[in-house]
């Protein structure tokens, strides 16, 4: 029997099943599901849904997939691309032999600071003279790092390890090892903190009005029994290993054991819950704060928050990147007010890809999309004339402006 991916490629699956696939809801192994999602990112109807699903996919599961040399090239290539990059996955991708040395060289020459640190700590990158040479050409490399790269000096982590004598405080050194580069919930910086405080003063009453309301995700139902499911799957050994038998007569010891068992079980559940489940437990004010201080994966979830004030906070975050806004502008599972806010923001509308995605998105209100059609380039207008994913009104407007621009060398008549 043909695989689900093969059936999707042959258009043999009904639209409803493909829609479920774009939301990651098919009962298939995670690696196969990710491969399906990557393929669907090129789908004109379900592509944006697939991108949002991949952006919020469980980090632990994804890291196991991208570290596998046998992983499909399309999957590795998707997460390697800058617009889809998740910092926590980069160390695994860099070490994966399926990623060519040429790709790492190209990355090294233009990498941002966080990737430079990863490359300097990577055994594979440090053993490649070509990659080290590419790093020295990167304008973001500091003079100290440049000296280290050119002279082969020790890295900061090696210096830190060397400062502790062998055999002393070895456990402390292990505990002090650098954390994974992915940000935890709500990691802050001065700029984002200031933006959050300034914004919350302006919209304090709207945030307060949402407090106490049940969390709701637009386009998807939240599973309310996730705690029970996690507890059912939690290994009993995690609790049993940490409980020491005590005399039955000792009531205080029994009470302490019960409390300890509860704490261990709770920690095990907390370790297993996804970012979506964590967010679903937060109040409105906490979700607004996370919209400012959180990471890309969390913003991809919060933009679909049922509370309009949380959606607005995501779009106001100083951490929000242009590729994220492009994805939001083309998403078909967001609230109408998200598209209106994007269209009102001058910074966003300077990005041609945002404008194009808004026009081509059937969820964009007509009063927003129509004035933007004339801003599109000739080749986009040409492709829209026969598109079945946009409204008839937009299609006719695209046809009109295409004829004008095609005859006037790409310019629109005033």
Nearest in space to 398 (alpha carbons), one of 388, 383, 414, 413:
383
**Sign of the dihedral through C-alpha 42, 47, 50, 55:** positive
Identify the DSSP state of 154: P
pLDDT at 13 (0 to 100): 86
pLDDT at 168 (0 to 100): 39
Euclidean distance between the first and final Cα of the chain, in Å?
Answer: 58
Quote the pTM value: 0.49
**Sign of the dihedral through C-alpha 311, 313, 315, 321:** negative
Identify the DSSP state of 96: -
pLDDT at 147 (0 to 100): 78
Between CA 66 and CA 122 the distance in angstroms is: 16
Q: Is 233 exposed, middle or buried (0-12, 13-18, 19+ CB in 10 A)?
A: exposed
Between CA 212 and CA 287 the distance in angstroms is: 12
Q: Which residues contact 212 (CB under 8 A, 6 or more apart)?
A: 283
Between CA 250 and CA 256 the distance in angstroms is: 10
Could you read off the pLDDT tens digit of each residue along the chain, which spans 414 residues?
578 888 888 888 888 889 999 999 888 899 999 999 999 999 988 898 999 899 888 888 999 999 999 999 999 999 999 888 888 899 999 999 999 988 998 898 888 888 989 998 999 988 888 888 888 888 888 888 777 776 544 444 444 444 444 343 333 333 333 333 344 445 567 777 888 888 888 888 888 888 888 888 886 544 333 444 434 444 444 333 343 444 444 445 555 656 666 666 666 555 556 788 888 889 999 999 999 999 998 999 999 999 999 999 999 999 999 999 999 999 988 999 999 999 999 999 999 999 999 999 999 999 999 999 999 988 888 888 888 888 889 989 999 998 888 776 555 554
pLDDT at 262 (0 to 100): 65
pLDDT at 414 (0 to 100): 46
pLDDT at 175 (0 to 100): 33
φ, ψ of residue 111 to 5 degrees: the values are -65, 145
pLDDT at 142 (0 to 100): 84
Between CA 69 and CA 95 the distance in angstroms is: 9
Do residues 203 and 315 lie in contact, with contact meaning Cβ atoms separated by under 8 Å? no
pLDDT at 316 (0 to 100): 94
Between CA 181 and CA 179 the distance in angstroms is: 6
pLDDT at 149 (0 to 100): 73
């Amino acid at each position: 029997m043909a695989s689900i991916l093969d059936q999707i490629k042959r258009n043999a699956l009904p639209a409803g099943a493909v829609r479920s696939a774009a939301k990651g809801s098919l009962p298939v192994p995670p690696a196969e599901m990710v491969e399906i999602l990557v393929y669907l990112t090129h789908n004109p109807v379900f592509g944006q849904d697939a991108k949002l699903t991949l952006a919020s996919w469980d980090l632990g599961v994804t890291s196991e997939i991208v570290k596998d040399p046998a992983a499909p090239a399309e999957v590795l290539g998707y997460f390697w691309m800058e617009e889809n990059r998740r910092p926590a996955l980069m160390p695994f991708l860099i070490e994966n032999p399926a990623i060519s040395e040429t790709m790492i060289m190209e990355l090294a020459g233009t990498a941002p600071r966080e990737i430079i640190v990863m490359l300097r700590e990577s055994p594979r990158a440090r053993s490649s003279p070509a990659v080290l040479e590419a790093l020295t050409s990167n304008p973001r490399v500091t003079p100290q790092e440049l000296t280290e790269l050119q002279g082969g000096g020790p890295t900061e982590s090696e210096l830190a390890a060397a400062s502790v004598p062998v055999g002393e405080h070895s456990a402390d050194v292990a505990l002090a090892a650098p954390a994974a580069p992915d940000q935890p919930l709500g990691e802050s910086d001065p700029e984002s903190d200031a933006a959050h405080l300034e914004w919350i003063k302006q919209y304090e009453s709207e945030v307060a009005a949402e407090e106490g309301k049940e969390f709701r995700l637009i386009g998807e139902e939240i599973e309310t029994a996730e705690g029970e499911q996690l507890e059912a799957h939690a290994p009993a050994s995690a609790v049993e290993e940490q409980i020491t038998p005590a005399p039955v007569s000792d009531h205080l010891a029994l009470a302490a054991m019960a409390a300890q068992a509860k704490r261990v079980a709770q920690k095990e559940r907390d370790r297993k819950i996804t970012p979506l489940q964590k967010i679903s437990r937060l109040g409105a004010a906490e979700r607004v704060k996370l919209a400012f201080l959180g990471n890309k994966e969390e913003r991809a979830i919060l933009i679909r928050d049922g509370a309009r004030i949380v959606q607005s906070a995501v779009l106001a975050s100083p951490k929000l990147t242009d590729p994220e806004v492009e994805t939001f502008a083309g998403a078909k599972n967001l609230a109408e007010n998200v598209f209106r806010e994007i269209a009102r923001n001058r910074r966003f509308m300077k990005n041609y890809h945002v404008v194009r995605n808004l026009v081509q998105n059937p969820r964009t209100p007509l009063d927003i999309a129509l004035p933007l059609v004339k801003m599109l380039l000739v080749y986009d207008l040409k492709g829209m004339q026969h598109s079945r994913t946009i409204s008839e009104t937009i299609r006719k407007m695209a046809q009109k402006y295409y004829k004008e621009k095609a005859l006037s060398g790409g310019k629109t008549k005033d």
